[in-house]
Amino acid sequence: MARMILGRKLGMTQIFDANGKVTPVTVVQVGPMVVVAKRHLPAQGYFGIKVGFEPAKRQEKDGDVRFRGLTRADVGVFTAAGIDAPCRILREFRVTEAEFATFEVGQTLDHTMFAEGNFVDVTGTSRGRGFAGVMKRHNFAGFGNSHGAHESFRGGGSVGSSAFPARVFPGKKMPGQYGNARSTVQNLRIVRVIAEDNLYLIKGAIPGSKSGLVSVRVAVKKSR
């Protein structure tokens, strides 16, 4: 079975092993997810499943039932799949042809997707730090405080290249938006699984702020 599960980052803590060695871990509350649809595009050789995560809040007024954050079209996706409780988050991910047959619409995926000792890649949205200069954003050294330096001490220096080609090359490191971008940390080990609370204790830090949405996938490089 393809292994991928959505979760929420709860924060960081530390645990001790039998020898008293301390390990910093990130606590992630995962699943459960429900399989909403299966997608197969024969021409492209594409196999994928669509999953829902976190039940949407039900709102009822004057006999009309709505779900917070979902349009009627969104709810219709779950109704067509025979799922009574729509989810507020929908994601789709690819699987192999062999794995595709193991999934069924309405199936629940939970913490059993991974076990202690498994290596995973964790993807999330990094914390946004707003507009930042080149020293904070790209680790530039800045200018010295002497030898003729004046007016600019934290600037990025020259960005152009004279008369030819008379333009700034794409990708030039300059001030701008820092953070708030999709980020992945690879080859993290699941130190402990707390089944009753659907928790993974993952060694090290992962992207995002507390309560941020993350996806935990089987480590690509370790699996090879």
Closest Cα partner for 30 from 186, 199, 184? 199
pLDDT value, residue 9? 96
- Do the beta carbons of residue 175 and residue 132 sit within 8 Å? yes
pLDDT value, residue 161? 78
CATH 1.10.3720.10 fits 1-30+115-128+179-224, yes or no: no
Closest Cα partner for 178 from 120, 128, 109? 128
Residue 199 tokens read as 């928790």
| CA pair distance 217, 6, nearest whole angstrom | 9
- Do the beta carbons of residue 194 and residue 115 sit within 8 Å? no
From first to last of the 224 residues of the chain, give the pLDDT tens digit. Answer: 468 899 999 999 999 988 999 999 999 999 899 999 998 888 888 999 999 998 888 888 777 788 888 888 888 888 888 888 889 899 998 888 888 888 899 889 999 999 999 999 999 999 999 999 999 999 999 888 887 878 888 988 888 878 888 889 999 999 999 999 999 999 999 999 999 999 999 999 999 999 999 999 999 988 65
Provide the residue ranges of all domains of the chain, joining segments of one domain with +. Answer: 1-30+115-128+179-224, 32-109, 130-157+171-177
pLDDT value, residue 170? 92
Taking the complete model, does pTM exceed 0.85, yes or no?
Answer: no
Q: What share of the chain is helix, strand, coil (3-state, %, to 5)?
A: 10, 40, 45
Q: Which CATH architecture is the domain 32-109 placed in?
A: 2-Layer Sandwich (3.30)
Closest Cα partner for 187 from 151, 139, 135, 222? 222
